[in-house]
Amino acid sequence: MKPIAARERSISGTGLGLRFEHYQHILAEQPSVPWFEILIDNYMGKGGLPLHYLEQVCQHYPITFHGVGMSLGSTDPLNLKYLKQLKELKERFNPVHISDHIAWVCISSQYMHDLLPLPYTHEAVNLLTDRICQTQEILGETILIENPSSYLSFTNSEMNEVEFIQGILNKSGCDLLLDVNNIYVSAQNQGFDAYEYIDGIPKQRVKELHLAGYEQRTHYLYDTHGSEVHQPVWDLYKHAIARFGAVPTLIEWDSDVPSFETLMNEANKANSIMMSQSNATG
């Protein structure tokens, strides 16, 4: 099939996750959204409605690919079939970024439904580095990796999460998708300072930010992606924008998907923070 190029190769402002509930509205109304993020694992089939709609959305908006299937932290061999499909979709839809997570989802070819955590060791830095380098070579571009939400830590970890991320960025040359909600959730669950975390991240390597909602459980915060962004995360986002500048930001809402208007309201809040920060520094 003839490749379809996204309209632009750069993004700015606050984008939204493309969800099937909103396909019709987006195509009929062409709302003023600067870009959409695609959960690319939902488009791996050979045809069907998702690809049909994606082709149309791409004619009007720049897109990014966000995935959960690379399993960069696995000790299984890389899934070359998955990466080949991803490359075909990249060539067809020309996303501005391709991202996945600092996590593993697969063992002995069995895929889980969760992003599972890694011990923060030198061995794990090297494992991820090797797999990211191979992935970037196959895809022919630099990928972004996303910091996880965490609920436990390993007694054999040799460094904190920021040092772990710094090690991977330095060795692999990949860039970072920094999820501000994930930092807050992990900081509350693990007892570290979310602001110090942001201050330790290399400024030039952050290419995208995520914002999402969490849920307060009895003894911990749970990263649900199913509500509006909470105030402490907006406060942390202000700090992130002050440090990194007006990095493209995504409102990430995956469960109990709300009306398009609700997503736009959240995007407008993020845009006002970006604007007020650039006015303050400009």
74 vs 149, which CB is nearer to Fe ion? 149
Site string for Fe ion, 31-60 (x = CB under 5 A): ------------------------------
Contacts of 120 (CB under 8 A, 6+ apart): 153, 154, 157, 158, 159, 160, 161, 163, 164
Among 96, 210, 266, 270, which residue interacts with Fe ion (rule: CB under 5 A)?
Answer: 210
Q: Which tokens go with 207?
A: 């290419």
Nearer Cβ to Fe ion, position 131 or 225?
A: 225
Looking at residue 22, the DSSP 8-state letter turns out to be G
DSSP of 196-260: HHHHTS-GGGEEEEEE---EE-SSSEE--S-SPPPHHHHHHHHHHHHHH-S--EEE---SS---H
The DSSP call for residue 118 is -
Region binding Fe ion by CB under 5 A among candidate stretches 20-28, 135-143, 161-169, 247-255? 247-255
Q: How far is the CB of 210 from Fe ion (least distance, A)?
A: 3
Helix (H) or strand (E) holding 65: strand 63-66
Least separation in angstroms between CB 186 and Fe ion: 12
Q: Which is nearer to Fe ion, 179 or 228 (CB)?
A: 179
Report in angstroms how near the CB of residue 101 gets to Fe ion at its nearest: 8
The nearer residue to Fe ion, 124 or 146, going by C-beta atoms, is 146
3-class SS at 183?
helix
- For Fe ion, the closer of residues 64 and 129 by Cβ is 64
CA–CA separation, 182 and 64 (whole Å): 20
Q: Would you count residue 101 as binding Fe ion (CB under 5 A)? A: no
Residue 93 CB coordination number (10 Å): 21
Q: Which is nearer to Fe ion, 61 or 253 (CB)?
A: 253
Interface with Fe ion, residue 230, by CB under 5 A: no
Q: Site for Fe ion (CB under 5 A): which residue of 179, 223, 228, 266? A: 179
Classify residue 232 by burial, with Cβ atoms within 10 Å: 0-12, 13-18, 19+: middle
Give the CB-side neighbour count of residue 10, counting CA atoms within 13 A. 2
Q: What tokens does 23 get?
A: 């396909």
In the complex, the smallest distance separating the C-beta of residue 279 from Fe ion, rounded to whole angstroms, is 27
Number of residues this chain uses to bind Fe ion (CB under 5 A): 3
- Among the listed ranges 106-114, 152-160, 162-170, 205-213, the one in contact with Fe ion (CB under 5 A) is 205-213
- Smaller CB distance to Fe ion: residue 92 or 147? 147
Q: What is the DSSP code (8-state) at residue 94?
A: -
Contacting range for Fe ion; rule: CB under 5 A; set: 10-18, 19-27, 200-208, 251-259? 251-259
Shortest spacing between CB 113 and Fe ion, in angstroms: 16
Q: Which residues bind Fe ion (CB under 5 A)?
A: 179, 210, 252
